[in-house]
Structure 1
Amino acid sequence: MLQEVKNDIIENLGLDQQNDLLDFLVDGSSRYIKDIKLNFKTALDVEHMTAKEAHLTGLAIAVNNKSSKLISFFQKKCAELEATEAEIAEVIACASLLSANNIFYRFRHFVDSDKYDSIPAKIRMNIMAKPVLGKEFFELISLAVSAANGCEMCVKSHEKSVKSFGSGEQRIFDAIRIASVVTSIDKLLL
C-alpha cells in the first residue's frame, strides 16, 4: 500500500522511480508518505486562488528552494494552466529578488540598529513597480517566499500590502500553506 502511494507521488511529479528518502518512508512503514501525498494535492486545490495562481506560487517556492525536480513539475503545470512565459519568468524573478530582500531585511530586523536602518538598501526592485502578475498577486507570492525564508519584517510588510488590495486572510493562508507543503515535499526529493 505505501509503495503504491510512493509510486503515485513519483508519477504525479514526473520523477524517476528511485528516491532514497521516499523509499525510507516506505521501508519504515511511515504513514507520513500518505500525509505528504494528500497535503500536496490539498495545498494546490484551494478555494481562494485559481489553479494557475496556486501552481505559480508553488513554482516560486520551488525556485526559492532550488528544487530542480519541483521547478520542472511546476513549470510544466503552469504551462498547462496557460501561464505565459512572462508570468513564469516574473515568478522566477520574484523568488530571486525576495531572497535578496529577505536576507537584507532580516539582518536589519535582527540587528535592530538605527544606523543600518538609515543606510539605503540599494537593491533594485523595478519588477515590483508594474508586475505582469498584477500587484496583489506579486505581493502574495512575495509574502509566501518571505514566509519560507523566515523574514518577519518582510512577512508583515507583504501581508499588509496584500490586504490593502482587498485580499482576505483565507487567500493569504492558502498561499502560506502552499509554501509550507511545497517546502516539506522538497525535503524528501533528492
Structure 2
Amino acid sequence: MLLSATQETKTDLLKDLGLNEEQPFYSLDKLADADSRYLRDLRVNLKTAIAGETLSPKEAYLLALAAAANEENVTLISAFEEKAKENGATEAETAEAIACASLLATNNILYRFRHFAHKDIYEQLPARVKMNIMGNPVLSKEFFELVSLAVSAINGCERCVAAHEASVLKLGATEQRIFDAIRVAAVVTGLSKIVN
C-alpha cells in the first residue's frame, strides 16, 4: 500500500523518536488521516530544535526530556531518555533532568503566586522547599540552570525566567545558547500535544 506524503511524515517522525509506528496516537493519527501539513512542520521544528547551534545532541535531548517530564508525557519521556542515553547521557543525568522539571514546577508555582499576589507578607514567608539538587547538580551548574530556565519558560514564571536567565549568563552562556534551549522546550511542549 502506497502511503501519502503526510502518512510518510508521520512514520518518519515516529522513527525519529524511536517510537513504534504501529502504536496508535490519537492526535497524530488524526492529523495524518486529515492530510494535515502541520505534521511536516512539526517534524522539521523538532529536527532543527534538536540540532541547535550551541547545544550538543546530548544536551538537546536532556532538555527535551525535562520538557516532556514537565508536560507529564510518558511516551516522550521514554523516547527522549533513550535518545539522551544514545548520545552519552548517564542514568544520573537523565534522572536529574526529570528531577529538575519537578523542582522547577514546584518553584514556578510558588514564585508565580508571590508575583501575582503583590503582598509583602508572601515575599517574607520562607518557601520551605528543599533545593539541594541545585547546589551540586550532576549536570554542570550552567546546564542545570539552562534546564531550569527552559522549564520556567514553559510554566510561565516571569520571576523564575529572569533569575535563571541572569544566572545562566553569569555562568558563561550566550543568548544564542539560551534561545536554542527555549526552542527545544517550546517544540517539545507542542509535540507533547500531538504524540501522547
TM-score (norm 2): 0.94
Q: Does 1:48 align with 2:54?
A: yes
Could you tell me which amino acid in structure 2 is paired with residue 172 of structure 1?
I
**2:14 corresponding residue in structure 1:** 10
| Aligned residue runs from structure 1 range 98-177, under 5 A | 98-177=104-183
Q: Does 1:71 align with 2:77?
A: yes
Q: Does the CA-based 8 Å contact 2:11-2:21 persist in structure 1?
A: no
Q: Does the CA-based 8 Å contact 1:15-1:69 persist in structure 2?
A: no
- 3-state SS in 1 of match to 2:173: coil
Distance 1:77 1:28 in 2: 29
Distance 2:140 2:85 in 1: 18
Which has the higher mean CA deviation after the structures are superposed, 39-48 or 8-17?
8-17
Distance 1:41 1:135 in 2: 26
Q: Compute the displacement of 1:30 (Å).
A: 1.6
How many percent of aligned residue pairs carry the same amino acid?
Answer: 54
- Aligned residues, how many? 190
Distance 1:16 1:47 in 2: 30
**1:24 corresponding residue in structure 2:** 30
- Point out 4+ residue stretches in structure 1 off by more than 4 angstroms: none
Q: What is the root-mean-square deviation in Å for CA atoms of aligned residues?
A: 1.0
Return 5+ residue gaps in structure 1 as ranges.
none
**2:188 corresponding residue in structure 1:** 182
